[in-house]
């Protein structure tokens, strides 16, 4: 591995703490010897392939990459990556990864989780990792169903979902993971789709480069218990009208020939979809993921209809820089040494108030 | 004899046994009589807002620097400010100090300082007749007395006739002493605890310089308040010296003969435990990572460790108990000495993560400062009722070693020992302290760093297994044949990339395995690893060839040992053994238990160690239990043990 250079300060230095690969890597280097055991046709395969395909480009020494997961179908992910990995317990991956990332800044730490793992049993850890801005990359596989326990509704399932545990329909309103993350002070929030390898890879690239916690929601098809949940976003004909591709610095337009666009309603301040005309073309919102205010990113996350998924934005909603917890923690250790000198155990144990017993 | 001299039975707490109390010495230069005592028990009691804990801490510090042996028992309500003047709002601090070595904070105070009627009412039952009671008369007015059910004033109705009563208008005297400071009456009144401290410091010839510099430092940003407190403190001292009510002062000589030579300091259990963790990290040459969520009575460890970032100590105040242990475990995966600190309710929340640590076989320290349970229970009171939770409180067969300190200072050594086990055997370890040890304090002989154990570990650096085809590979679950520990291969080590998790693993390779025979093997191997942990044999103290053994664990060491001394002093043979290791038990424990006709197990629970002993060794151990949130009293245990012997 190449020499690690200590970060000085400011942005764009955190990745430099992680050693680079000595030689060129290939996708094969990141495949473990374990047989992949997801159901045939599962969307997880596509995500695994995209991540394994992206890693050589990322270029870090694979021994310095760690995947930590919770429990659920997607959480088997680390077993298939030929990096360090931990398949932990339900919902707790962000907490475990926080301990690892904050104590080892020479590692690139990734969390793999699902909608149940991250938003139900582990909701608390997710929001706190986001607000702290720990240097983690969180891949949230959202299939809107519990797969591993065989088909109960999840915290992202649409209201009225008929499942084994809700034969008369589910009662609870779903979380919108992107809205939740923005509300939890996330510095990077993106959404992508399992079947769109190119888009998925581009989002991974931006997430990997981000300083701090990056949350990537990946719409992922469970072909056994919730097949076709995102079909409207994947079917070519329907997708054109349903998907809004966010591109930083570009007007937010979609539909055939970009016939539709997003504008801010001057009366309410809210965002809405309108047909683009020559009269309103100048008013079409230009996407600014780096806007210091989260207001517009949040409004974008509310555009999608939770039932039909119409007007679902994908891409990077928000990518802003703010202090990273790991760095702050390391800085305090340095500051303490600057102030008091390196700890002297003998002096600590003795303290300032002693007496002596002589023989 | 004066009221200061305790009964012969109580004197037997001291090892030396030389009773010097009551000896008259010539009058002091100030014209007042000075008497020598071998030991004194003082209890400061007042409202939660009266600063009794601070007063007790200061008196303790003065006493420690004077060189007495000492033992303390802070006792306070869970509420930060319970309703003023009520019985539940009473906060007290008991201190036992002596010219010889002592083991407990003492059963019954020789002196009670009662700052208000509630403090008197709540504590009088513990005070033996003839003892000194110093009363703040200013608070004994109609309403405060009525609040706690005094229909008539106990100062006047004769109910305190059996005591040596010192009525002192503490509040008035304090306000008067501070009249030049321009403070409001309310502000001035706050210093009355320092007046009381000054008075007691005079009575017992305590050095005062430490308290004065402490006050200057504590109120460095408010020098006016610092001066006011110092003036109140001196006024209390002068009051003792001049007023006729206090005709006698007392000397308790330093306990020089009781201690081996060395440098000493006073230390509480939580502080000693914190230092033990820092020392373990230094001795292991691993960074310390504490993941913790605030909980009484463990939070002081989080506070203390947060001060020592210049030792490379990382403290992470997590969003909840589970995240606390999760982060510590994550750091351990990365090669840190991972620690989580909590109390019983937190352990319950951490159980699943502890099970994961058992399965991952990573070093991890779980510090449980036990308190009264179940549920929220008694947050500020002590109990030993988490033993079975530590032992069994997880799903599946999930053995975890358990180490328990016996005194406040012993928390240092116990922490090092727990770290040794965690690091050597790659396992989570419970360190079971309790509220009594955590907040109590005693003198501690400061160890030489050079004498501390070497805890260095070797991380895996290369392949450790050859496949049938000759390929060299790394197997994360290939064990050390002696310790059964698996290799600790930390991320960043090239070629050792591996995945671990909570799913059952194949022996050796660590790959997921649902094979029934393999699971059976892994369950038995994890148990064998813990069973095989090397712990020293338990020492038996039995000078007289007794037939009854008293067996304890953890913080009951002080009261049990004091009780044993009393019995032996009275000519009754009794054997004593005290366990530091609860899992695994010392190898010789079964043989020791068999030697005695009777085994008595006193515990601050309903018989948890007794249950384990009976199950493992088929010994008819007799349980003696107390779960009132307070430590045992030596006298009470002596009585119980005598009954067992006589039975």
| Token pair for A235 | 């079917």
* pLDDT confidence of residue B78: 87
Contact A34 B512 (CB under 8 A): yes
pLDDT higher than threshold 70 for residue A187 = yes
Question: Which chain A residue shows the shortest CA-CA distance from B62?
Answer: A353
Number of independent structural domains in chain B: 4
The C-alpha of B615 sits at a distance from chain A's nearest C-alpha, in angstroms, of: 32
* pLDDT confidence of residue B8: 37
The predicted-structure confidence for B362-403, as pLDDT tens digits, reads as follows 999 999 999 999 999 999 999 999 999 999 999 999 999 999
Q: Which of A79, A86, A124 lies at the smallest CB-CB distance from B512?
A: A79
Q: What are phi and psi of B33, to 5 degrees?
A: -75, 140
* pLDDT confidence of residue A235: 95
Torsion of CA A16, A19, A24, A26, to 10 degrees: -100
Q: Are residues B445 and B471 in the same domain?
A: no
Q: For chain A, what is the mean pLDDT? A: 95
Rounded alpha-carbon distances, angstroms, from residue A352 to A107, A348, A349, B263, B403: 40, 9, 9, 11, 30
Query: What is the count of residue pairs from A and B with beta carbons less than 8 Å apart?
Result: 209
pLDDT bracket for residue B483 (50, 70, 90)? very high
pLDDT higher than threshold 60 for residue A222 = yes
Instruction: For residue B521, tell me if it sits in a domain.
Output: yes
Q: Are residues B447 and B463 in the same domain?
A: no
Report the pLDDT averaged over residues B339-347: 98
Contact B311 A85 (CB under 8 A): no
What residues contact residue B583 under an 8 Å CB cut-off, 6+ apart? B390, B391, B399, B400, B401, B402, B430, B530
Give the domain CATH number at B172: 3.40.920.10
Question: Which residues of chain A lie closer than 8 angstroms to B498, CB-CB?
Answer: 84-85
Give the domain CATH number at B427: 3.40.50.970
Question: Which chain B residue shows the shortest CA-CA distance from A17?
Answer: B492
Residue ending a domain, choose from B401, B429, B451 = B451
pLDDT higher than threshold 60 for residue B14 = no
* pLDDT confidence of residue B81: 79
pLDDT higher than threshold 90 for residue A359 = no
The predicted-structure confidence for B426-460, as pLDDT tens digits, reads as follows 999 999 999 999 999 999 999 999 999 999 999 99
Question: Which residues of chain A lie closer than 8 angstroms to B284, CB-CB?
Answer: none
Report the residue of B64, B327, B332, B355 to disrupt the A interface, i.e. the one with the largest count of A CBs within 10 Å: B327
Report the pLDDT averaged over residues B48-70: 93
pTM for the full model?
Answer: 0.93
Instruction: For residue B96, tell me if it sits in a domain.
Output: yes
Print the domain residue range for B247: 8-252
What residues contact residue B533 under an 8 Å CB cut-off, 6+ apart? B401, B421, B424, B425, B584
Question: Which chain B residue shows the shortest CA-CA distance from A93?
Answer: B326
Instruction: For residue B259, tell me if it sits in a domain.
Output: no
Q: For chain B, what is the mean pLDDT? A: 94
* pLDDT confidence of residue B32: 84
* The 3-state secondary structure of chain A, one letter per residue: CCCCCCCCCCCCCHHHHCCECCCCCCHHHHECCCCCCCCCCCCHHHHHHHHHHHHHHHCECHHHEEEEECCCCHHHHHHHECCEEEECCCCCHHHHHHHHHHHCCCCEEEEEEEHHHHHHHCHHHHHHHHHHCCCEEEEEEECCCCCCCCCCCCCCCCCCCCECCECCCCCCCCCCHHHHHHHCCCCEEEEEECCCHHHHHHHHHHHHHCCCCEEEEEECCCCCCCCCCCHHHHCHHHHHHHEEECCCCCECEECHHHCEEEEECCCCCCEEEEECCCCCHHHCCECCCCCCCCHHHHHHHCCCCCCCCCCEEEEEEEECCCCCHHHHHHHHHHHHHHHHCCCCHHHHHHCCCEEEECC
pLDDT bracket for residue B30 (50, 70, 90)? low
Q: Are residues B513 and B559 in the same domain?
A: no
Q: Are residues B556 and B621 in the same domain?
A: yes
Instruction: For residue B85, tell me if it sits in a domain.
Output: yes
Residue ending a domain, choose from B534, B556, B583 = B534
Report the residue of A86, A109, A136, A331 to disrupt the B interface, i.e. the one with the largest count of B CBs within 10 Å: A86
ipTM of this model?
0.96
The C-alpha of B507 sits at a distance from chain A's nearest C-alpha, in angstroms, of: 16
Residue ending a domain, choose from B436, B451, B466 = B451
Determine what percent of chain A is predicted with pLDDT higher than 90: 93
Report the residue of A355, A356, A358, A359 to disrupt the B interface, i.e. the one with the largest count of B CBs within 10 Å: A355
pLDDT higher than threshold 50 for residue B18 = no
Question: Which residues of chain A lie closer than 8 angstroms to B497, CB-CB?
Answer: 62-63, 82-84
Q: Which of A63, A348, A357 lies at the smallest CB-CB distance from B259?
A: A357
pLDDT higher than threshold 50 for residue B17 = no
Contact B328 A103 (CB under 8 A): no
Instruction: For residue B3, tell me if it sits in a domain.
Output: no
Instruction: For residue B117, tell me if it sits in a domain.
Output: yes
The C-alpha atoms of residue B124 and residue B90 are separated, in whole angstroms, by 12
Report the residue of A103, A136, A331, A346 to disrupt the B interface, i.e. the one with the largest count of B CBs within 10 Å: A103
Q: Are residues B340 and B433 in the same domain?
A: yes
Contact A106 B492 (CB under 8 A): yes
Report the pLDDT averaged over residues B11-17: 39
Angle at A147 between CA A146 and CA A151, to 5 degrees: 65
Question: Which chain A residue shows the shortest CA-CA distance from B359?
Answer: A88
Contact A99 B259 (CB under 8 A): no
Question: Which residues of chain A lie closer than 8 angstroms to B263, CB-CB?
Answer: 350, 354-356
Determine what percent of chain A is predicted with pLDDT higher than 70: 96
Question: Which chain A residue shows the shortest CA-CA distance from B498?
Answer: A84
Q: Which of A87, A348, A359 lies at the smallest CB-CB distance from B501?
A: A87
Contact B495 A63 (CB under 8 A): yes
Q: Are residues B467 and B447 in the same domain?
A: no
Question: Which chain B residue shows the shortest CA-CA distance from A344?
Answer: B311
pLDDT higher than threshold 90 for residue B477 = yes
Q: Which of B266, B326, B498 lies at the smallest CB-CB distance from A95?
A: B326
Report the residue of B497, B502, B504 to disrupt the A interface, i.e. the one with the largest count of A CBs within 10 Å: B497
The predicted-structure confidence for B331-340, as pLDDT tens digits, reads as follows 999 999 999 9
Q: Are residues B273 and B337 in the same domain?
A: yes
Q: Are residues B117 and B55 in the same domain?
A: yes
Determine what percent of chain B is predicted with pLDDT higher than 90: 91
Report the residue of B492, B500, B512 to disrupt the A interface, i.e. the one with the largest count of A CBs within 10 Å: B492
Report the pLDDT averaged over residues A182-192: 98
Instruction: For residue B2, tell me if it sits in a domain.
Output: no
Question: Which chain A residue shows the shortest CA-CA distance from B305?
Answer: A348
Q: Are residues B273 and B246 in the same domain?
A: no
Q: Are residues B507 and B464 in the same domain?
A: yes
The C-alpha of B289 sits at a distance from chain A's nearest C-alpha, in angstroms, of: 8
Question: Which chain B residue shows the shortest CA-CA distance from A123?
Answer: B319
* The 3-state secondary structure of B171-195, one letter per residue: HHHHHHHCHHHCCCHHHHHCCHHHH
Report the pLDDT averaged over residues A243-249: 98
The predicted-structure confidence for B149-164, as pLDDT tens digits, reads as follows 999 999 999 999 999 9
Question: Which chain B residue shows the shortest CA-CA distance from A1?
Answer: B494
* pLDDT confidence of residue B28: 52
Q: Which of B353, B491, B500 lies at the smallest CB-CB distance from A104?
A: B491
Contact B326 A88 (CB under 8 A): yes
Q: Are residues B503 and B620 in the same domain?
A: no
The predicted-structure confidence for A296-318, as pLDDT tens digits, reads as follows 999 999 999 988 999 999 999 99
Q: Are residues B112 and B220 in the same domain?
A: yes
Instruction: For residue B286, tell me if it sits in a domain.
Output: yes
């Amino acid at each position: 591995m190449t020499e690690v250079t200590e970060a000085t300060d400011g942005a764009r230095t955190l990745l430099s703490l992680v050693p680079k690969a000595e030689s060129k890597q290939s996708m094969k280097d990141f495949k473990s010897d374990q047989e992949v055991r997801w159901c045939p046709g599962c969307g997880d395969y596509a995500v695994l392939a995209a991540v394994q395909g992206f890693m050589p480009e990322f270029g870090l020494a694979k021994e310095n990459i760690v995947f930590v997961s919770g429990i659920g179908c997607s959480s088997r992910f680390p077993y298939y990556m030929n990096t360090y990995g931990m398949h932990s317990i339900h919902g707790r991956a962000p907490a475990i990864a926080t301990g690892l990332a904050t104590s080892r800044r020479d590692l690139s730490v990734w969390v793999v989780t699902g909608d149940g793992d991250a938003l139900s049993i582990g909701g608390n850890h997710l929001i706190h990792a986001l607000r702290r801005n720990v240097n983690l990359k969180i891949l949230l596989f959202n299939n809107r169903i519990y797969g591993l326990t065989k088909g109960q509704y999840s915290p992202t399932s649409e209201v009225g979902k008929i499942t084994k545990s809700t034969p008369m329909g589910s009662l609870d309103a779903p979380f919108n993971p992107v809205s939740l993350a923005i509300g939890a002070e996330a510095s990077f929030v993106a959404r992508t789709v399992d079947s769109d390898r190119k888009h998925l890879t581009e989002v991974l690239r931006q997430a990997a480069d981000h300083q701090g916690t990056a949350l990537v929601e990946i719409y992922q098809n469970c072909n056994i218990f919730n097949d076709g949940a995102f079909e409207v976003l994947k079917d070519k004909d329907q997708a054109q009208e349903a998907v809004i591709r966010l591109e930083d610095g570009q007007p937010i337009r979609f539909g055939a020939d970009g016939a539709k666009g997003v504008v801010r309603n001057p009366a309410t301040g809210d965002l809405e979809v309108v047909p683009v005309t020559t009269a309103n073309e100048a008013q079409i919102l230009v996407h600014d993921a780096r806007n210091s205010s989260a207001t517009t990113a949040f409004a974008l996350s509310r555009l999608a209809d939770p039932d039909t998924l119409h007007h679902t934005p994908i891409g990077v909603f928000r990518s802003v820089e703010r202090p990273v917890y790991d760095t702050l923690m390391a800085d305090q250790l340095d500051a303490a040494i600057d102030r008091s000198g390196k700890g002297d155990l003998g002096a600590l144990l003795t303290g300032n108030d002693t007496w002596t017993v002589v023989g | 004899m004066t009221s200061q001299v305790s009964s012969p039975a109580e004197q037997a707490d001291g090892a030396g046994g030389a009773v010097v109390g009551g000896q008259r010495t010539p009058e002091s230069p100030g014209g007042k009589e000075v008497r020598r005592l071998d030991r004194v028990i003082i209890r400061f009691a007042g409202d939660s807002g009266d600063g009794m804990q601070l007063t007790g801490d200061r008196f303790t510090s003065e006493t420690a620097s004077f060189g007495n042996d000492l033992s303390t028992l802070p006792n306070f309500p869970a509420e930060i400010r319970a309703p003023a003047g009520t019985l539940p709002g009473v906060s007290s601090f008991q201190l036992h100090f002596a010219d010889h070595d002592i083991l407990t904070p003492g059963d019954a105070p020789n002196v009670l300082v009662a700052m208000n009627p509630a403090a008197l009412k709540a504590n009088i039952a513990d005070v033996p007749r003839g003892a000194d009671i110093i009363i703040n008369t200013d608070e004994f007015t109609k309403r405060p007395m009525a609040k706690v059910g005094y229909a008539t004033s106990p100062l006047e109705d004769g109910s305190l006739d059996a005591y040596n009563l010192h009525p002192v208008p503490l509040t008035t005297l304090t306000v008067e002493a501070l009249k030049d400071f321009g403070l409001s009456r309310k502000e001035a009144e706050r210093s009355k605890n320092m007046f009381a401290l000054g008075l007691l410091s005079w009575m017992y010839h305590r050095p005062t310089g430490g308290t004065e510099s402490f006050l200057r430092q504590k109120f460095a940003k408010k020098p006016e308040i610092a001066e006011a407190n110092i003036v109140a403190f001196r006024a209390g001292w002068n009051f003792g010296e001049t007023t006729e009510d206090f005709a006698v002062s007392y000397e308790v000589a330093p306990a020089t003969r009781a201690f081996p030579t060395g440098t000493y300091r006073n230390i509480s259990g939580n502080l000693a435990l914190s230092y033990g963790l820092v020392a373990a990290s230094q001795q292991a040459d691993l960074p310390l990572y504490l993941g913790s969520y605030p909980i009484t009575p463990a939070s002081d460890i989080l506070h203390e460790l947060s001060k020592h970032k210049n030792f490379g100590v990382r403290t992470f105040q997590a969003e909840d108990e589970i995240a606390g242990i999760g982060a510590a475990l994550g750091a351990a995966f990365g090669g840190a000495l991972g620690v989580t600190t909590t109390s019983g309710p937190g352990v319950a929340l951490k159980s699943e993560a502890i099970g994961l640590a058992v399965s991952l076989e990573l070093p991890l320290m779980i510090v449980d400062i036990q308190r009264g349970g179940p549920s929220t229970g008694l947050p500020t009171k002590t109990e030993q009722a988490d033993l079975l939770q530590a032992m069994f409180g997880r799903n599946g067969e999930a053995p975890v070693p358990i180490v328990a300190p016996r005194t406040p200072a012993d928390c240092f050594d116990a922490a090092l020992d727990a770290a040794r086990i965690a690091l050597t055997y790659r396992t989570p370890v419970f360190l079971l302290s309790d509220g009594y040890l955590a907040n109590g304090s005693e003198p501690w002989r400061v160890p030489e760093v050079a004498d501390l154990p070497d805890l260095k570990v070797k991380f895996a650096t290369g392949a450790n297994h050859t496949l049938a085809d000759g390929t060299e590979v790394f197997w994360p679950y290939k064990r050390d044949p002696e310790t059964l520990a698996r290799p600790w291969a930390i991320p960043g080590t090239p070629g050792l990339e591996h995945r671990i998790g909570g799913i059952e693993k194949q022996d050796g390779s660590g790959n997921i395995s649902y094979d029934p025979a393999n699971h059976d093997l892994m369950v038995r191997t994890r148990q064998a690893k813990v069973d095989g942990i090397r712990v020293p044999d338990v020492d038996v103290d039995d000078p007289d060839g007794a037939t009854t053994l008293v067996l304890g664990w953890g913080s009951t060491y002080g009261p049990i040992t004091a009780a044993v001394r009393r019995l032996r002093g009275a000519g009754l043979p009794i054997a004593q053994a005290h366990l530091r290791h609860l899992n695994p038990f010392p190898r010789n424990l079964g043989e020791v238990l068999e030697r005695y006709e009777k085994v008595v197990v006193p515990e601050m629970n309903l018989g948890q160690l007794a249950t384990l002993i009976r199950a493992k060794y088929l010994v008819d151990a007799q349980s003696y239990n107390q779960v009132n949130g307070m430590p045992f009293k030596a006298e009470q245990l002596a009585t119980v043990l005598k009954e067992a012997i006589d039975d």
